Amino acid sequence: MSMDPGGSILEGDTVTLSCSSMANPLSSYNWYQVKGAAIIKRGSGQNLTLATVTPSDGGTYYCEAANQHGGETSPARNVTVLARSSVHKNLVPREETSTGGPLLSRTQSSLPMCKMAPKIPDIDEWAQLVMDVHDVPHVTVDPPGRLTEGSSVTLSCQSKDSLPSLYSWFHVDGVSLSNRGSGQNLTIRPVAIRDNGAYFCEMTNKNGAENSTAVTLQVHRHQPKMILYALMGTIAVLSICLFGLFLALKMRKSRFYDLEIKMKYFNHFTPERIQRLI
């Protein structure tokens, strides 16, 4: 799943989320938004366009691709929408001279010419400052990367906020949302295929509640078991082949034994008659 534009998203912008699948036949697509403890269907089709976004459009998004063979959900993508009022109130208008340079006050005019007026951060820099002040928790995964069935994994909810907080964990699987526990850390042991999906934490303190960005766990079947199953299948096939060869040899031996008996009791027969018996 991809998002355009990436980076900071301000209130009033237009955002397009795109979902792709290599399924054959082609898939149908549905879009979902995780908002707090609820899952909201936001649309269908390969692309989801959010026009004139508002802070209420923020949250975790994912798509579900499905055909007659089944369905799969994409990794989750967190969309954070910043209110323009929280950004623009920090912007200080820059007065400029006719030459385009910053206008210095009378008290500043006696300063050496090498002194420059402080640089006003651009909109993306202010957006980052606002996000730092309004801290959004994030989730770390230990160990990172590929997970195998039967292993263990620990998710940690991290925040720069020093206030005492309560933490709750949620698991998004398809269109279902389940509470997986509480506390700053969530340990899953042993990991199973059913643990696939997106996870996020909710941090609650006196300032309110805030959801973290989502992380996606992908659990793969334990490879040694698959190798063992393949080896067992190979042994079974070889056993069947050997048993068939044994029966063929036994039948051939029985045929020659019958011929020997016939020759013993009918040794007065001519070679032509023996050949007919065979």
Q: Give yes or no for residue 150 having a pLDDT over 50.
A: yes
Say if residue 128 is in the same domain as residue 25.
Answer: yes
Q: Give yes or no for residue 102 having a pLDDT over 50.
A: no
Coil, strand or helix at 12: coil
CATH number for the domain harbouring residue 64: 2.60.40.10
Distance CA(20)–CA(18), nearest Å, equals 7
The amino acid occupying position 264 is K
* 276: confidence class by pLDDT, cuts 50, 70, 90: low
Say if residue 130 is in the same domain as residue 147.
Answer: no
Of 72, 70, 68, residue with least CA distance to 20: 72
Give the chain's domain count.
Answer: 3
User: Is residue 94 within 8 Å of 120, Cβ to Cβ?
Assistant: yes
Radius of gyration of the chain from its Cα atoms, rounded to whole angstroms: 36
Per the model's pLDDT, the better-predicted residue between 95 and 29 turns out to be 29
Question: 202 lies in a domain?
Answer: yes
Q: What is the mean pLDDT of the chain?
A: 76
Average pLDDT value for residue range 140-152: 91
Distance CA(67)–CA(65), nearest Å, equals 7
Question: 51 lies in a domain?
Answer: yes
Say if residue 130 is in the same domain as residue 143.
Answer: no
φ and ψ at residue 267, rounded to 5 degrees: -70, -15
Q: How many CA atoms lie within 13 A of 188 on its CB side?
A: 26
Query: What does pTM read for this prediction?
Result: 0.53
Q: Give yes or no for residue 62 having a pLDDT over 90.
A: no
Question: 181 lies in a domain?
Answer: yes
DSSP class per residue in 121-188: P-HHHHHHHHHHHSPPPEEEEES-S-EETT--EEEEEE-S--S--EEEEEEEETTEEEEEEESSEEEE
Q: Residue 113 gets which letter from DSSP?
A: T
Number of Cβ within 10 Å of residue 180's Cβ equals 14
User: Is residue 4 within 8 Å of 40, Cβ to Cβ?
Assistant: no
Say if residue 17 is in the same domain as residue 127.
Answer: yes
Say if residue 59 is in the same domain as residue 128.
Answer: yes
Average pLDDT value for residue range 105-114: 41
pLDDT, tens only, 11-44: 899 999 999 888 788 778 999 988 777 888 999 9
Say if residue 6 is in the same domain as residue 129.
Answer: yes
Say if residue 33 is in the same domain as residue 53.
Answer: yes
Picking from 134, 166, 188, the residue at the C-terminal end of a domain is 134
Say if residue 176 is in the same domain as residue 245.
Answer: no
User: Is residue 230 within 8 Å of 221, Cβ to Cβ?
Assistant: no
* 76: confidence class by pLDDT, cuts 50, 70, 90: confident
Say if residue 143 is in the same domain as residue 250.
Answer: no
Coil, strand or helix at 5: coil
Say if residue 50 is in the same domain as residue 21.
Answer: yes
Say if residue 130 is in the same domain as residue 180.
Answer: no
Per the model's pLDDT, the better-predicted residue between 264 and 169 turns out to be 169
Question: 143 lies in a domain?
Answer: yes
pLDDT, tens only, 215-260: 889 898 876 656 667 778 888 888 888 888 887 777 766 666 666 6
pLDDT of residue 192: 93
Average pLDDT value for residue range 265-277: 60
Question: 97 lies in a domain?
Answer: no
- List C-alpha distances in Å: 69 to 21, 74, 145, 197, 202: 13, 16, 28, 19, 35
Question: 109 lies in a domain?
Answer: no
pLDDT, tens only, 119-144: 444 545 544 444 444 567 889 999 98
Per the model's pLDDT, the better-predicted residue between 266 and 221 turns out to be 221
Average pLDDT value for residue range 181-185: 94
Question: 102 lies in a domain?
Answer: no
Question: 99 lies in a domain?
Answer: no
* Domain, as residue range, for 248: 229-277
Say if residue 201 is in the same domain as residue 270.
Answer: no
